[in-house]
Amino acid sequence: MASVADLVKDRRILFVTSEQSVLEAARLMTEFNVGAVPVMRGDELVGIFSERDIMCRVVAGGRSAATTAVSEVMTARPLVLSLDDSIDQALFVMQEHGFRHLVICDGKRVKGVISLRDVMRSAVRAGAQ
C-alpha cells in the first residue's frame, strides 16, 4: 500500500511565514500553481493557508490582501499526517474533515502538502495496476 511519503518525496517544500501578507502568499501560490501552503513561525508549523482562506476570510470579509497578515486568516493548528500514513488514511481524513489539502510532516519537520487531487490520482493509478 502506498504511503503519503510517495506523494511528497520529490517535491519542493513551499511555505509562507505567519507575518507575510496575504498578497505575498497568494503570489507565491500562483507562481507555483498550488492551492495551499504551510504557515511557519520559525521552525514551527502554525497553520495552513489555502485558496479557500483567501476567498472566505479575505475577499468575502472585505479585507485588504496587501495589509492582512497570513496569521490573521490562516487555518491554525492544522491536522497533519506523517510520512508513514497511507493514501487511504489521507483520503479518510480529507473526507471526514472536508479538507482539500493536508500537511505532511516527519516528526515536527514539514515535508510537503498533498491535495485531494494527488490522493485521487494515486488511487486511480493503484486501481489500474
Place of cell 487511504: 88
Q: Rounded to whole angstroms, how far apart are CA atoms 36 and 107?
A: 20
35-82: per-residue pLDDT in tens? 999 999 999 999 999 999 999 999 999 999 999 999 999 999 999 999
Q: Rounded to whole angstroms, how far apart are CA atoms 47 and 59?
A: 19
Q: Rounded to whole angstroms, how far apart are CA atoms 14 and 33?
A: 11
49-61: per-residue pLDDT in tens? 999 999 999 999 9
Place of cell 509562507: 16
For residue 10, what pLDDT is reported?
A: 87
Q: Which domains occur in the chain, in start order?
A: 5-128 (3.10.580.10)
4-44: per-residue pLDDT in tens? 999 999 889 999 999 999 999 999 999 999 999 999 999 99
For residue 1, what pLDDT is reported?
A: 60
DSSP 28: H
Report which of 87, 88, 116 is spatially closest to residue 102, judged by C-alpha positions.
116
